Structure 1
Amino acid sequence: MAVVRPAGAEQNPSPPLPVGEQGEGSGWRAARAAYLARVAPWAEDRTARMSRGQKHPVYDFLFEYYSFRPAHLLRWTPGFGAFLEGATRGDVAWGEFVERDGGLLLPAEAFPAHRLSYLQWATEYLNAVLTREPSFACFGLHEWAMVYRDPNVRHPYVPLRLSRAETDAAVDAQPLRCSHYDAYRFFTKEAAPLNRWELSRVTTTEHDQPGCLHANMDLYKFAYKISPFCPSDVVADAFEVARAARELDMRASPYDLRAYGFEPISIETRAGRETYVEAQRALSLRAQPMRERLRDVYARLLAAQSDLPPGPLPEGRG
């Protein structure tokens, strides 16, 4: 079956890296060492908190909502098509690599056949969001909608900044314009009908847009979900974007996180909303090149497959 390429993407995407273009001699070892030095503090911080039974309302999310554990983050890969001269099985923790000409190679064809439908959908999704106009009208109210008129909160060990009545009033005073299903699905039953859209998993591609904090945070998910076929430096870049997005997300939330070193962005005020939009816009500009790079990794990997399953693309995979 012919390869299905995303609308608007290159018709002839760049081929995977040829053998030896990256990773010759000590080059790949230096790249691996640099990557591990970069991600080790994030992984070790999470592991240390877990050993103490200590929760963190901002950073735990990056390892709990997202399923890439610290041990996974500490596995380096150059991505598919790059030859690691002189490498042995002990140098790479991923079983998909094959021995080739005195080193290791990760062939694109090793991508699991049962995940090709996801690869198709995700390539189309990334391209759709990449080419869509960003919107900055939500004011970060999704976390507020998750506690609206409900005695339960998602972080019961962290106090709210305002009273329950004031928190509910902040939601009542602004229209809810959440475009991301994986935030919307956690709205309270009273908040969900107030949203401009009734979102669902199957309409994810129709609504996600590059101004959305959570859509930008999810770039990390798209990077690690095709590991080890996505280069680790892309995973690390996406993690940094997700970390910055999560910090902004929780600073604008109704929770009081000053004990954790995070000054609030008071979106219940006009000045706070202006501050939030400025930060949201800056994060979107930072995330767009990351989204384009991920789209290209997915498109190249998709183009390298020759036995894609027939039928329409499945919506909402991811």
Structure 2
Amino acid sequence: MLEPDDWQARATAHDARLAPFLDAHLARRTHRTKHPVHDFLFVYYSQKPGALRKWHPGFGTGMAQAEAYASLKGYEVVDGVAHVPASYVESQQVLLTALRRLLRATLDRAPHFGCFGLHEWAMVYRLEQDKTRHAAWPLRLGGAATDEVVESHRIACSHFDAYRFFTPPAKPLNTLDPGQDDRPEFEQPGCLHASMDLYKHAFRLSPMISSDLVADCFELARDIRILDMRAAPYDLTGLWLDDEEFTPVRIETPEGKAEYVAAQRDYTERSAPLRARLLAEVERLLEVAAPTLVSTSRSSA
């Protein structure tokens, strides 16, 4: 049980942690200004800024004098104490079971570091400039040279939600064929998008898990997205991030490939404990939602 001073202080700290990024995004949205890097976290991912800003202690912890939480999905308020009831956790059994399978499979798989971020290049392959996802920003090498980079490399994208945005002529060039329903068979921990998706998994588990873990995954996704677009084919000259000019990772060169792989390895190491923490939370919640399923799984292991 958290007393008002305690949970309100934690909620305030959570808001202060995320405010610089969220306030900047909301200001851009007010002025209808697009950002080719940061908008991804609110366009591709469905979590709204206000929902991300709301702090939750997670299942198993109540908050005294928290009547305002009564209107939020997943909450029950009894005598002023807000908490996530077991009945809500039980209603999320399908989600929890699917996430456990995906997280465990990804954790158990060896990372691969040979993709060089070419998924972004495959998304613009043979497209006219005005048809690209970020048409306001030109291709750094131009259309023909960008296509040559794609054609001269082995494309090995294991992430369905990146692969599905490949242009039609680029899809046959991929050595893998990931599908929407077979993610556990393909996703691997070296994939930047698989690590960014830890944020998606975390907010889908809200309010059953602590918002501190959600914020950790959000910050990881934010940082990885910067590398993702630094290695992309777009010329983002003039774009600034955190008072530093945006610089490309030139993956078409040996030096750029080495830079990309080094950063990819760092993010793989950073994502591993977050993936493990998410899996531990899912296992804890499944003890409530499907205890027989969990005990059977442990016995077979």
User: TM-score, with normalisation over the residues of structure 1?
Assistant: 0.86
Residues 1:135 and 2:134 aligned together: no
User: Offset of 1:136 from its aligned partner?
Assistant: 0.4
Relative CO higher for 1 or 2, CA cutoff 8 Å, sep ≥ 6? 1
Segments of structure 2 that go 5 or more residues without pairing to the other structure are: 241-245, 294-301
SS in 2 for 1:255: coil
Residues 1:265 and 2:217 aligned together: no
Residues 1:242 and 2:221 aligned together: yes
Residues 1:110 and 2:88 aligned together: yes
**Match for 1:190 among 162, 169, 176?**
169
Matched residue, 1:39:
18
Check conservation: 2:125, 2:170, Cα contact below 8 A: yes
**Match for 2:40 among 35, 46, 61?**
61
Check conservation: 1:76, 1:93, Cα contact below 8 A: no
Check conservation: 1:245, 1:283, Cα contact below 8 A: yes
Matched residue, 2:271:
287
Identity %: 45
User: How do residues 89-168 of structure 1 correspond to structure 2 at under 5 angstroms?
Assistant: 89-90=67-68, 94-100=72-78, 103-111=81-89, 113=91, 115-151=92-128, 152-168=131-147
Residues 1:88 and 2:66 aligned together: yes
Alpha carbons of 1:67 and 1:308: their partners in 2 closer, same or farther (altered >3 Å)? farther
Alpha carbons of 1:214 and 1:95: their partners in 2 closer, same or farther (altered >3 Å)? closer
Query: For 1:183-210, what per-residue CA distance to the aligned partner results, in whole angstroms no more than 9, with x for missing partners?
Result: 0000111111111111211221101000
User: TM-score, with normalisation over the residues of structure 2?
Assistant: 0.90
Please give the root-mean-square deviation of Cα atoms over the aligned residues, in Å. 1.8
Query: For 1:115-161, what per-residue CA distance to the aligned partner results, in whole angstroms no more than 9, with x for missing partners?
Result: 42222111111111011111101010000000111222110011111
Query: For 1:97-123, what per-residue CA distance to the aligned partner results, in whole angstroms no more than 9, with x for missing partners?
Result: 22346522222332362x422221111
Check conservation: 2:67, 2:81, Cα contact below 8 A: no
Check conservation: 1:75, 1:94, Cα contact below 8 A: no
Larger % of helix: which?
Answer: 2
User: Offset of 1:170 from its aligned partner?
Assistant: 0.8
Q: Distance in 2 between matches of 1:257 and 1:72?
A: 30
Q: Distance in 2 between matches of 1:100 and 1:93?
A: 13
Matched residue, 1:10:
none
Q: Distance in 1 between matches of 2:101 and 2:86?
A: 19
Segments of structure 1 that go 5 or more residues without pairing to the other structure are: 1-19, 310-318
Q: Distance in 1 between matches of 2:90 and 2:196?
A: 25
Which residue identity does 1:119 align to in structure 2? L
Check conservation: 2:69, 2:77, Cα contact below 8 A: no
